[in-house]
Amino acid sequence: MPVIQMVEVFPEQVDELAALAKPIWTDHFTPIIGAEQTAYMIEKFQSAPAMRAQMANEGYHYYFFLYDGQKAGYTGIRRDGDSLFLSKIYVEKSFRRKGIASHGIAFMTDLCRREGLRKIWLTVNKHNDGSIACYRSRGFTVAYPLVTDIGNGFVMDDYVMEKWVAPRTLLYVDTCLRTGSRTRELADAFLNAYRKAHPQDTVDVVRLAEADIHCIRGEELERREALKSEGKIDAPEFAEARRFAAADGIVVAAPMWELSFPAILKAYIETVSVPGITFRYGEGDTGCIGCCKASRLLYLTTRGGIYTGAASGLELGEKEMKALSQFFGIPGFDCLFAEGTDLLPPEEVAGRMEQAKSAAAQMARVW
């Protein structure tokens, strides 16, 4: 039976690593991004000088894949906070479909468990269908798109994919106030499927109709501002902000009210918006940098009217939640909705709701 091994690359072996990488990259990426960008990226990221610098200065570790003693490919990884970044995993063409990539990902999964890392994440070109399918089959899901300027007029147009190793906490913010809420029906479809697909995860539920969430004003506002100025972000007043910031994923269910969402959700957003917890002041276009751990936020909503056509400019809830996700440092944003629920015939509304609930359940399985 063939033996697959991973052998760490030492600095004196980097020339050998670069020689292995160049033909693999040339063969794999030229049909996807063209010869010019492929050559540029090899020089920038996979040349011997580039990889030596990555190992010396950026915490990268490279490994050769050996298949019955033959060098069959390689992988590069580095620790990223409480995650493992899978920078590269490539197998030479004649050695593919022999279990080498699976062996490497199993090694990384075990490494995460030993070192207390919670997930593996990577970037993959959006048009690299074969690799995307390969990662999906090994437990990775698409988290969000990412476009990176790499210089010389080139960009990397990627998906970020992730594979969770440790249990997650999903924060569910229920903004539905009416009995028989259609939006809650949509959320229930998502949550039921999520719990079934991810039984090890915790679903932390905040029901705003039952919580002490209100407009902050008067003495309460002054007290919160004083605590912020003193840096006392561990105060009980900021418990909801810490809860929001610590979640691994966030789902917000909010019906469309007055072109946006219920006022209680705005009050909740004000409650969790605390510098030093969910964001911090810094440089950039907004002057703020998000601090939340979540990589994804899902906004679930139903709309009585139809706002995907001529009236799209009037829909404000999705737009605001997407902007807030960016503000809080949550890169992945999705919106799932059913609309026309107060305008269309009952049988058509029922059909639209079933279609939306089916989509919600399907999304939950790969979250």
Do 189 and 52 share a structural domain? no
Percentage above 70 pLDDT, the chain: 99
Do 134 and 208 share a structural domain? no
Do 137 and 46 share a structural domain? yes
In angstroms, how far is CA 35 from the centroid of its own chain?
Answer: 30
User: How much is the pLDDT for 277?
Assistant: 97
Please say which residue of 116, 148, 164 terminates a domain.
Answer: 164
> Quick one: average pLDDT of 158-162?
97
| CATH code for the domain of 120 | 3.40.630.30
Q: How many domains does the chain have?
A: 2
Query: 76 labelled as ligand-binding?
Result: no
Beta-strand pair 119-125/141-151 = unpaired
> Quick one: average pLDDT of 123-131?
94
Which residues are within 8 A (CB) of 253 and not within 5 positions of it... i.e. 6 or more apart? 172, 173, 174, 175, 176, 183, 184, 186, 187, 300, 301
Q: Are 233 and 276 in contact (CB under 8 A)?
A: yes
Do 353 and 263 share a structural domain? yes
Beta-strand pair 202-207/169-174 = parallel
Q: Are 145 and 158 in contact (CB under 8 A)?
A: yes
Please say which residue of 131, 164, 197 terminates a domain.
Answer: 164
User: How much is the pLDDT for 88?
Assistant: 92
pLDDT at 323 over 80: yes
Query: What is the DSSP-derived secondary structure letter of residue 46?
Result: I
User: How much is the pLDDT for 284?
Assistant: 66
pLDDT at 238 over 70: yes
The secondary structure of 284-349 as a DSSP string is SSSSEEE----SEEEEEEEESS--SSTTGGG--HHHHHHHHHHHTT--EEEEEEEE-TTTS-HHHH
pLDDT at 140 over 80: yes
Residue-range definition of the domain harbouring residue 237: 169-365
pLDDT at 304 over 80: yes
pLDDT at 289 over 70: yes
- CB burial class (10 A; 0-12, 13-18, 19+) of residue 22? middle
Please tell me which residue, 283 or 103, carries the higher pLDDT value: 103
Do 145 and 34 share a structural domain? yes
Reported as a pLDDT band with limits 50, 70 and 90, residue 1 is confident
Do 115 and 203 share a structural domain? no
> Quick one: average pLDDT of 222-244?
95
Do 259 and 137 share a structural domain? no
Do 228 and 291 share a structural domain? yes
Q: What is the pLDDT of residues 166-221, one digit of tens each?
A: 999 999 999 999 989 999 999 999 999 999 999 999 999 999 999 989 999 999 99
pLDDT at 286 over 80: no
pLDDT at 79 over 70: yes
Do 86 and 15 share a structural domain? yes
Query: 169 labelled as ligand-binding?
Result: no
Cα pseudo-dihedral 225, 226, 228, 231, rounded to 10: 180
Do 184 and 329 share a structural domain? yes
CA atoms of 76 and 69, how far apart (whole Å): 19
Do 135 and 89 share a structural domain? yes
Do 299 and 152 share a structural domain? no
| CATH code for the domain of 334 | 3.40.50.360
pLDDT at 70 over 80: yes
User: How much is the pLDDT for 355?
Assistant: 97
Q: What is the pLDDT of residues 8-60, one digit of tens each?
A: 999 999 999 999 999 999 998 999 999 999 999 999 999 999 999 999 999 99
Query: 34 labelled as ligand-binding?
Result: no
Query: 231 labelled as ligand-binding?
Result: no
Considering the chain, what is the average pLDDT of its residues?
A: 95
Query: What is the DSSP-derived secondary structure letter of residue 237?
Result: G
Which residues are within 8 A (CB) of 67 and not within 5 positions of it... i.e. 6 or more apart? 2, 3, 4, 95, 98, 100
Q: Are 69 and 104 in contact (CB under 8 A)?
A: no
Q: Which amino acid belongs to residue 338?
A: A
> Quick one: average pLDDT of 251-275?
97
Please say which residue of 164, 186, 201 terminates a domain.
Answer: 164
